[in-house]
Structure 1
Amino acid sequence: MRTTLIGRLLAALVACAAGPALGETVLRLSEPAGPGGPEAAALAVFRDEVAARSAGRLRIEVRLQDELGGLAAPVDGLAAGPIDLYTGPLATFRHLAPAELAPLSLPWLLQDEAQLRRFLAGPVFQRAERRLREHGIRLVSTAFTGLHAPVRVIVATRRLTAADDLSGLRVRVAADDLAQRSWRAVGAAPMALPWSETYLALRRRAAEAAELPLGELRAARFAAVAPFVATAGLAPRLWPMVIGERRWAALPAADRAVLVAAADAAGRIYSRVAEDAARHELAAMTSRATSGPVRLDTTVLRRRLDPLWHDLVTRGALAPEMMEIMAAQAP
């Protein structure tokens, strides 16, 4: 009997150790990217910053590759509770604010970091924030420290020297209607494929090209199957952090402040790591070719895309204020 009692006590102690400590709040964060990238590095900083700033009151559980969300949409996970925080692209939530978040899915619409910041600070994105809030999703911080504008790279199975070489090119794109329409407008033949299937599609020549930001080439390992590289302007992007509105409302003001400060610190790490990776890849590309990578003329591409953008505005699929933001940007 004594042995049984001791066993029960030990089991109880193990159960207590496995769960959150008394007074500790655990927040579960989901990120679609895998280990080894700027997202993972930034989230390690976020986790440690939250623990330090809250004196152990808050604990962040980081799950990469959407481990928490599974096949469910992040908006459902944030509403139902499996996910407390999410750091995937805002385009994930485009169905909640279609016209306002459309710019994040249209390549070459936003040309650089300054233009992206102008968009984020303007009325279009403010409307998007309100609509996200109506669906129970809140941006943790609007300082937008996790922002950078890497070079847009196109890797291909055949040489690209000019914009006309995109004609008929079977380029892998995400399952995003705006991205597909954009590539079609510049003359390419977009193929909707999961990123995980891109390498095999290039190797089998089912796809002829893929687009990705500079800084992710080495991790993608496309050199063996798509050895030709061209650049096509910049691909400004934001790495945001959102939280479920109900979870946010339940936190005291001090804990909210901790999350905001830690999110800003994580964003700075993300930008720095991503920019360092891009810089190293550019140096490696330049060292292999005396003239550097081929540059496609984005003026030509934007001219081909202009009718699509105006059509989207006419149909209400793109906020009309975006045309003013674009007009303020020098070509």
Structure 2
Amino acid sequence: MTRRMACFVLMVSLAGMSLWGSGAPEETKTYKLMVGMVVTESDPMYKGAVEFKKNVEARTEGRVKVEVYPNSQLGDTRDMMEQVKAGANVAVITDPARLAESVPEIGILGAPYIVDDFQEARKLVTSSLFSTWAEELAGHGYRILSFNWYQGARHFLTNKPVKVPQDLKGLRIRTPGATVFQESIKAMGASPVALAWSEVYPAIQQKVIDGAEAQFPAVVGARLHEVIKYITKTGHFQLITGLVCSESWFKGLPEAYRRILLEEALKAGDYASQLTMEGLKENESFLKSQGVEILEVDITPFKQACEAVYDKIEGYRALREEVMKVLGKR
């Protein structure tokens, strides 16, 4: 979606807020939330959002209506976050690195090799440390409904074999534009290129970039197996994401509805995460069947290369110590 179209969506959604909410007694008001994401209908995040829709509408007897928009229909993630911050009735599934533009500390959740799996990530995002960051984000206009939406480990997707960091030298690799993503890809030897997810397929096809890094469900959903030959299983990021809406929109809901949204977002995040974990082997088998070679490598040199990120980004080494304490590793 173009930025102009995203602005149009924002204006329509803001107008819709007055149509859906004002002037009626609280018990008869109807509210609408549009949930957007860049992934396709085959992705566990979409299925989790549909589960969220079903349960929220059931518990509110249809007074909170949820519409789900996959495949960048509401714009790319940055577009949707701008809509959220502006107060639109929009929610987005987003990563911590983008939220770090408002609260830098939360970006540590997207740092390389910070957690080993979903269980560790979930423990972290339900901790008092995370709650502190979430409250700070509310002051910037973002309400975290839940942050337990696990999308899987991210790996390198290329057309030449990558077995050690040196093999990444000179390769233009798509990654999100947030600082922690950019610095991590640089640290491992590649040249990071920020592109919208919807642009990755044609960019690889047209050799604008040499590859990307992403999680298996997203690779399958975007059909990137048609334009890549290799996936190197580095698992450099464990992608934990969250469902985030406008703080002002959220505060405009009756308290009972706020509680329902928070409870159902947590349940839906766990549901989506379980689907992710159950589907990873199936995703990998499918990619192999399509001719993609999956490279199992020693991740030690990649982890060592990423140590530079914790010095490059101010405060990250100290933040990692706090995270390790939460996880019981210190």
Is residue 163–residue 301 contact of structure 1 (8 Å, CA) maintained in 2? yes
Equivalent in the alignment of 1:31: 36
Moved over 4 A (4+): 19-22, 65-76, 121-124, 285-289, 326-330
Distance 2:176 2:197 in 1: 7
Equivalent in the alignment of 1:46: 52
Cα drift, residue 294 of structure 1: 1.4
Distance 1:254 1:320 in 2: 38
Is residue 154–residue 229 contact of structure 1 (8 Å, CA) maintained in 2? yes
Equivalent in the alignment of 1:320: 318
Distance 2:216 2:247 in 1: 34
1:255 is the counterpart of 2:252: no
Equivalent in the alignment of 2:16: none
TM-score (norm 2): 0.78
**Which one of the candidate residues 65, 78, 95 is aligned to 1:89?**
95
1:101 is the counterpart of 2:102: no
Change (3 A) 1:304 1:198: same
**Which one of the candidate residues 271, 274, 291 is aligned to 1:269?**
271
- What SS does structure 2 have at the residue aligned with 1:146? strand
Larger Rg computed on CA atoms: 1
Distance 1:120 1:71 in 2: 21
Give the aligned residue type for 1:271: S
Distance 1:187 1:207 in 2: 15
Equivalent in the alignment of 2:149: 146
Is residue 225–residue 287 contact of structure 2 (8 Å, CA) maintained in 1? no
Counterparts of residues 77-226 of structure 1 (less than 5 Å): 77-98=83-104, 100-122=105-127, 124-141=129-146, 144-147=147-150, 150-226=152-228
Is residue 42–residue 270 contact of structure 1 (8 Å, CA) maintained in 2? yes
Give the aligned residue type for 1:117: R
Distance 1:46 1:203 in 2: 35
Give the aligned residue type for 2:36: E
Distance 2:154 2:121 in 1: 15
Cα drift, residue 135 of structure 1: 1.8
- What SS does structure 2 have at the residue aligned with 1:117? helix
TM-score (norm 1): 0.78
Q: 5+ unaligned residues in a row in structure 1: which ranges?
A: 1-18
Distance 2:63 2:232 in 1: 49
Distance 2:294 2:75 in 1: 38
Cα drift, residue 71 of structure 1: 9.1
Is residue 87–residue 247 contact of structure 2 (8 Å, CA) maintained in 1? no
1:310 is the counterpart of 2:311: yes
Q: 5+ unaligned residues in a row in structure 2: which ranges?
A: 1-18
Change (3 A) 1:105 1:70: closer
Equivalent in the alignment of 2:63: 57
Distance 1:194 1:234 in 2: 20
